[in-house]
């Protein structure tokens, strides 16, 4: 829990610092950062779906050849993040050259691009800590991350009135965030005694593709159904409106995701081991325990948002953001609904029903885009926030239905063995078989 507070606090602080360092241009600067941050969340979801989630499901940290698996996982992360950095940089340059409002959005993408490999690798170490049942290592890594980032923030705050810092607040704040990730990424190499290499990365990605392709599809579409709020809204709102929307969204998701992500970090590897050791009863206990904790945390945060949302926005982001309190209320309602689906998501993941997860999120993504477009045209910023609640309701209904079908299959023992086709590297043993739910 403490580790997730550190991790989420670091991310939350970037947006808040951008708004304050930019001064009167805070909403505009935060809007530019929001697009870059939303794109980073795509990459974060992809690397977890393609690398860390399959590793947790297959219990890689507990196998005899775990060192090889961890090394291959790091290689896969390096490949993914370098390719993504090139894409971010190219897209950012195109937007910068386009000028006008596009310049601000492009500047955010260019600022984050060189730090992407470090952000991905540092997140990889966090997941390894939980997979090994050594959360102290994850906390230590995030502590190093936050100390470096905080130190850079102090220096930046002292120079906040400098015209260059004021005008390019996004570049300097994101650079401070990236510096923390870079030190954390290097520190993780020592923590887990893993040497950086590219060998085995592509092989690992290919060997888990039968499962990870659906996890990746589910992650992208899940991100699409939530982050369409930012990306699609960017076509209908000004940077000022987008910045206000982002502030309202982060006010709710910042604290609630601390507990939700903490539960997920522990929940997925524990759910996988519970299913292997105790069958459906063990999985049910973990899945619904995590879901109940998430609902309780969301409910607590929602009470504060409903009662003093305007005051919180004014205090955290500044007076210009106070008028977006109604949008924060809609986001709180959306997360209250979405909390019901956390248990079914864990059940579908560990039972290898990843195709159904993809189907659910694909529907959610379509609904999200349609509702965001229509509500944005009618009601502007509050309408975009209200669209998220509609999307959450439809998604949860489908998750509960498919989760119940997976439960029935698990109780009947409808499991089928599928060999893991990751070939051994030189001098290593073969990897044991993986179990796939049919």
pLDDT for 372: 82
Share of the chain above pLDDT 70, in %: 85
All structural domains of the chain with their residue ranges = 1-207, 214-412
432, pLDDT greater than 50: no
Whether pLDDT at 112 is above 80: yes
Give the pLDDT band of residue 119 (cuts 50, 70, 90).
very high
Question: CB of 420 within 8 A of CB of 434?
Answer: yes
Strand-pair partners of 436: 416
Tell me the two tokens of residue 84.
């993504």
Q: What is the structure's pLDDT at 141? A: 92
Mean pLDDT, range 345-365, rounded to an integer: 84
- Compare 84 and 435 and report the one with higher pLDDT: 84
Token digits of residue 280: 């459906």
- Reading the block at residue 363, the tokens are 């529907």
Give 78-108 pLDDT, tens digit per residue: 999 999 999 999 988 998 888 777 787 888 8
Instruction: Of 299, 364, 283, give the one whose Cα is nearest residue 333.
Output: 299
Structure tokens belonging to residue 271: 């759910």
pLDDT, mean of residues 381-403: 87
| Torsion from C-alpha of 305, 311, 313, 314, nearest 10 degrees | 180
The dihedral sign for the CA sequence 111, 201, 122, 331? positive
pLDDT (0 to 100) of residue 431:
36
Across 335-347, average pLDDT: 87
Say what angle helices 101-112 and 66-98 make with each other, to 10 degrees.
160
Question: What pLDDT does 114 receive?
Answer: 92
For the packed helices 354-411 and 342-350, what is the interaxial angle rounded to 10 degrees?
80
Taking residue 407's Cβ as centre, other Cβ atoms within 10 Å add up to 17
Mean pLDDT across 145-165: 80
356, 211 Cβ separation under 8 angstroms: no
- Write out the two tokens for 396: 């949860």
pLDDT: which is higher, 415 or 4: 4
The percent of residues above 90 in pLDDT, for the chain, comes to 13
The pairs formed by 421-426 with CB atoms below 8 angstroms and a separation of 24 or more are 421/207, 422/72, 422/203, 422/204, 422/206, 422/207, 422/208, 423/203, 423/207, 424/65, 424/68, 425/68, 425/72, 425/199, 425/200, 425/203
Record the pTM: 0.69
224 vs 236, more confident: 236
For residue 24, pLDDT over 70 is answered with no
Rounded-to-integer distance, Cα 45 and Cα 390, Å: 22
């Amino acid at each position: 829990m403490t580790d997730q507070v550190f991790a989420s606090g670091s991310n939350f602080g970037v947006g808040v610092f951008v708004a304050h360092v930019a001064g009167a241009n805070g909403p505009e600067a935060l809007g530019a950062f929001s697009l870059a941050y939303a794109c980073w969340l795509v990459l974060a979801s992809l690397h977890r779906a393609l690398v860390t989630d399959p590793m947790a499901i297959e219990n890689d940290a507990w196998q005899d050849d775990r060192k090889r698996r961890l090394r291959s996982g790091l290689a896969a992360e390096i490949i993914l993040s370098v390719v993504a950095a090139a894409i971010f940089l190219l897209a950012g340059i195109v937007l910068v050259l386009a000028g006008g409002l596009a310049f601000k959005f492009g500047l955010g993408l260019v600022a984050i691009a060189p730090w992407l490999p470090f952000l991905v690798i540092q997140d990889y170490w966090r997941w390894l800590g939980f997979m090994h049942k050594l959360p102290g290592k994850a906390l230590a890594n995030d502590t190093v991350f936050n100390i470096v980032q905080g130190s850079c923030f102090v220096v930046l705050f002292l120079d906040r009135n400098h015209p260059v810092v004021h005008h390019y607040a996004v570049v300097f704040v994101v650079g401070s965030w990236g510096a923390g990730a870079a030190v954390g990424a290097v520190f993780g190499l020592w923590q887990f005694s893993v040497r950086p290499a590219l060998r085995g990365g592509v092989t690992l990605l290919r060997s888990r593709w039968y499962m990870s392709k659906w996890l990746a599809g589910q992650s992208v579409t899940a991100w699409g159904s939530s982050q369409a709020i930012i990306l699609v809204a960017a076509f209908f709102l000004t940077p000022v409106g987008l910045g206000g929307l982002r502030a309202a969204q982060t006010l709710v998701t910042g604290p609630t995701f601390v507990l939700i992500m903490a539960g997920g970090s522990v929940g997925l590897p524990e759910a996988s081991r519970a299913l292997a050791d105790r069958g459906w009863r063990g999985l049910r206990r973990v899945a619904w325990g995590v879901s109940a904790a998430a609902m309780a945390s969301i409910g607590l945060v929602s009470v504060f948002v409903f009662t003093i949302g305007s005051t919180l926005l004014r205090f955290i982001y500044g007076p210009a953001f106070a008028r977006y309190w109604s949008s924060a209320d809609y986001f709180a309602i959306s997360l209250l609904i979405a909390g019901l689906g956390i248990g079914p998501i864990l059940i579908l993941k560990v039972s290898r029903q990843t195709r159904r997860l993809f189907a659910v999120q694909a529907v959610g993504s379509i609904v999200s885009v349609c509702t965001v477009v229509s509500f944005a045209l009618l009601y502007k910023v509050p309408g975009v926030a209200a669209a998220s609640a509609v999307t959450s309701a439809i998604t949860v209904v489908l998750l509960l239905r498919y989760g119940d079908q997976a439960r029935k299959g698990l109780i009947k023992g409808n499991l089928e063995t599928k060999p893991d086709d990751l070939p051994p590297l030189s001098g290593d043993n073969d990897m044991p078989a993986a179990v796939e739910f049919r």
